[in-house]
Structure 1
């Protein structure tokens, strides 16, 4: 069946919380063996136990994908342990907002390193395996899903560098899509609006206050809403490629 992921292997970065956590559970429920990649081993082990208890199969891979060697090693460990790689969800990211004037530039480094370079490292390491899966795999198609943001479409005062990283993800995804789509590797871009996750908590106190005020009268998305979007993308028939999917809360205007 097109909507089954039985016999396939998925790798999800940023799997220890939020969208990555929900997506890993969703793909496992569809039948994929899932490699859970993040830095927090304890959380990965809890998630793996939950997936196993539900009858699924999970591998924990402790890695910081902003480090090229660790990103490559995560992909290698996945393939060596689980036997193949059919789906990659590049979800790991950080959102550090605030004015450009007098900004702590180490925050910019963190965002560029993880949101852009980490995504590139994982994609580059995974692509040979995805191309092989598309040719010889049970579904004859493979998926690379890059999680961006509405910030990859709309620039805002106070989020300039975050905007820059997410615009980069969109440009890379579209170029790569054109390169490999004829070989049945589907490259998809998911752009969530405001989601109730840990992202906001990574900001300085004054920035957190500004963000929370902006969304105080809005019902934000849940991580499961984006997981369902990813699940929809990767379970389409081979002939269907969902190139880009923007998902906002109903009450979010911009």
Structure 2
């Protein structure tokens, strides 16, 4: 059951995060949404509450540990508990390694890896204390097979998410669930991260086959809805026409 579960979502101001928030709100979840763009968060929360749902927001930069702690604290102060954290925030600037775009590499490491780790660090003590909880970490099919050319570092970050999730599961899986969601081409703002012009052409062509963002929201809901003794560890989903 999703109704009355308290769910934190990072990267909730657009794309997969926004779609997931709206979908889970319809199923009765009590949401705490985090992202950097406050205007977007306000609009999403207003829409959810206008439709009878429950949601609050906290401006959050997942590269800042204290911001993520504050986001989780918002859940506890507002609703008194935390059931699920969805570590969704991510970026995907694609470019050949020969371009040596180290600033982009740093940003991907900070957001895609450290952002997930900060989410885990914020929620894990709460989950251990209450002997229940559910981590849902957004990976990618690029974390199963290297997205090349141009996606080597991005793939590296998503391989890391997959490894961290599985290691976490092995450490705390007796009472705490861990799910990695690994989408292929899904309609979101992720494709807009690429600034390298030649790579952007390829990325945009790849995303012409994208499926709707709420496809991922439904996969996330499926994992949450399972009985407490069932842990859906990985969900890989692609457009039917995607071969990669």
TM-score by length of 1: 0.92
**For 2:137, what is the secondary structure of its paired residue?**
strand
- Give the C-alpha shift of residue 130 in structure 1: 2.3
* Cα distance between partner residues in 1 of 2:141 and 2:41: 27
- Give the C-alpha shift of residue 212 in structure 1: 1.7
* Cα distance between partner residues in 2 of 1:147 and 1:212: 21
Paired residue for 1:120? 117
Does 1:168 pair with 2:160?
yes
* Cα distance between partner residues in 1 of 2:51 and 2:230: 29
* Cα distance between partner residues in 1 of 2:117 and 2:207: 31
**For 1:16, what is the secondary structure of its paired residue?**
coil
Residue ranges of structure 1 left out of the alignment (5+ in a row): 136-140
Does 1:22 pair with 2:19?
yes
* Cα distance between partner residues in 2 of 1:213 and 1:10: 34
- Which one of the candidate residues 222, 230, 234 is aligned to 2:212? 222
- Which one of the candidate residues 75, 78, 81 is aligned to 1:81? 78
- Check whether the contact 1:86–1:129 (CA below 8 A) recurs between aligned residues: no
- Superposed CA offset, 1:31-90 (max 9, x none): 111001000001001110111112111011101011111111211122112211001110
**For 2:173, what is the secondary structure of its paired residue?**
helix
- Give the C-alpha shift of residue 6 in structure 1: 2.8
Residue ranges of structure 2 left out of the alignment (5+ in a row): none
Paired residue for 1:212? 204
How many residues align structurally?
Answer: 242
- Which one of the candidate residues 184, 189, 200 is aligned to 1:198? 189
- Give the C-alpha shift of residue 175 in structure 1: 0.4
- Give the C-alpha shift of residue 215 in structure 1: 4.3
Paired residue for 2:221? 231
Does 1:151 pair with 2:142?
yes
